[in-house]
Chains A and B, each alone.
Chain A
Amino acid sequence: MINYKIIFTGPVGAGKTTAISTISDRPPISTDKIASDMARDIKKTTTVACDYGTVRLNGDDCLHLYGTPGQQRFDFMWDILTSGGIGLVLLLDNTRLDPFQDLEFFLDQFQDFINQTQVAIGITQMDRKSSPCIDDYHNHLGKQGLTIPIFDVDARKRHDVSLLIKALLFSLDPGLLENHD
Chain B
Amino acid sequence: MDNHTRPVKIAALGMEQRTYSTLQLFFHGHCEDNYVLVEENSADISIIDMDGFQAYRMLEEHKKHYPNQPSILISLSHDKAHDAEYIRKPIMLDALSLALRRAKERLQQPVTKAPDFEAPVAEITPQSQMTDSKPEADPPLLLSNIVHNPQKTVRPIKSGSNHFNQFRYSTNFLTEDTDLELVDTKLAAQFNPDDPEQVAKFQYQSKQTLQGYFQQAYFTALQEQQNVILKGVWRPITILYKSKQLRVEKNFRHLYALSGMLFDKSEVSITILDNNVDAEPGLHETVLPAEPFLWKLAMRTSRGRVPMDTNFTTPVKLIRWPNFTRTIVTPHALRIAALWAKQPTSLMDTANYLAVPLQHVFMFYTAAVSLNFVASTVTETDHSTIVLPQVKRHRYRKIFQNLLERLRNN
- A-to-B contact residues, CB < 8 Å: 2, 4, 23, 55-58, 61, 63, 86, 127-128, 130, 133-135, 138, 142, 147-154, 158-160, 162-167, 169-178, 180-181
Nearest Cβ in chain A — how far from B264, in angstroms? 32
B399 is an interface residue with CB less than 8 A from chain A: yes
B64 is an interface residue with CB less than 8 A from chain A: no
A152 pairs with B325, CB closer than 8 A? yes
**Given the complex of chains A and B, what is the CA–CA distance between A12 and B165 in angstroms?**
23
B325 pairs with A57, CB closer than 8 A? no
A174-B335 contact, Cβ under 8 Å, with A63-B403, A147-B341, A158-B410? yes
20 of the cross-chain contacts (CB-CB < 8 Å) are A56-B406, A127-B164, A135-B244, A135-B320, A147-B318, A147-B320, A147-B341, A150-B320, A151-B321, A162-B410, A163-B325, A165-B403, A166-B407, A167-B324, A167-B338, A170-B338, A171-B341, A171-B342, A174-B342, A176-B397
B338 pairs with A177, CB closer than 8 A? no
How big is the B interface, by class?
35 or more
- CB neighbours (8 Å) of A4 from chain B are 396, 399
- CB neighbours (8 Å) of B341 from chain A are 147, 171
- CB neighbours (8 Å) of B387 from chain A are none
Digit string of B315-338 for contact with A (CB within 8 Å is 1, else 0)? 000111101111001111111111
- CB neighbours (8 Å) of A56 from chain B are 406
B329 pairs with A181, CB closer than 8 A? yes
A176 pairs with B401, CB closer than 8 A? yes
Nearest Cβ in chain A — how far from B291, in angstroms? 8
**Given the complex of chains A and B, what is the CA–CA distance between A151 and B321 in angstroms?**
8
Cβ-closest 8 pairs across A and B: A173-B394, A170-B338, A174-B339, A174-B338, A57-B402, A138-B320, A181-B334, A151-B325
- CB neighbours (8 Å) of A127 from chain B are 164-165, 168-169
A167 pairs with B334, CB closer than 8 A? yes
A178-B404 contact, Cβ under 8 Å, with A4-B399, A127-B165? yes
B394 pairs with A61, CB closer than 8 A? no
**Given the complex of chains A and B, what is the CA–CA distance between A130 and B167 in angstroms?**
13
B325 pairs with A142, CB closer than 8 A? no
- CB neighbours (8 Å) of B330 from chain A are 181
B323 pairs with A177, CB closer than 8 A? no
A148-B321 contact, Cβ under 8 Å, with A167-B338, A178-B404, A181-B329? yes
A170 pairs with B335, CB closer than 8 A? yes
A134 pairs with B323, CB closer than 8 A? yes
**Given the complex of chains A and B, what is the CA–CA distance between A23 and B354 in angstroms?**
27
- CB neighbours (8 Å) of B81 from chain A are none
B1 is an interface residue with CB less than 8 A from chain A: no
**Given the complex of chains A and B, what is the CA–CA distance between A154 and B168 in angstroms?**
12
**Given the complex of chains A and B, what is the CA–CA distance between A88 and B321 in angstroms?**
17
- Chain A's closest residue to B318 (CB) is A147
- Chain A's closest residue to B326 (CB) is A152
B406 pairs with A173, CB closer than 8 A? no
B182 is an interface residue with CB less than 8 A from chain A: no
A147 pairs with B319, CB closer than 8 A? yes
**Given the complex of chains A and B, what is the CA–CA distance between A151 and B319 in angstroms?**
15
Nearest Cβ in chain A — how far from B64, in angstroms? 48
**Given the complex of chains A and B, what is the CA–CA distance between A66 and B316 in angstroms?**
35
A163 pairs with B401, CB closer than 8 A? no
B140-164 interface with A by 8 A CB criterion: 164
- CB neighbours (8 Å) of A149 from chain B are 321, 324, 337-338
- CB neighbours (8 Å) of A142 from chain B are 319-320
B111 is an interface residue with CB less than 8 A from chain A: no
Nearest Cβ in chain B — how far from A165, in angstroms? 6
A151 pairs with B323, CB closer than 8 A? yes
Digit string of B188-220 for contact with A (CB within 8 Å is 1, else 0)? 000000000000000000000000000000000
- CB neighbours (8 Å) of A160 from chain B are 325
B127 is an interface residue with CB less than 8 A from chain A: no
- CB neighbours (8 Å) of A180 from chain B are 331, 408
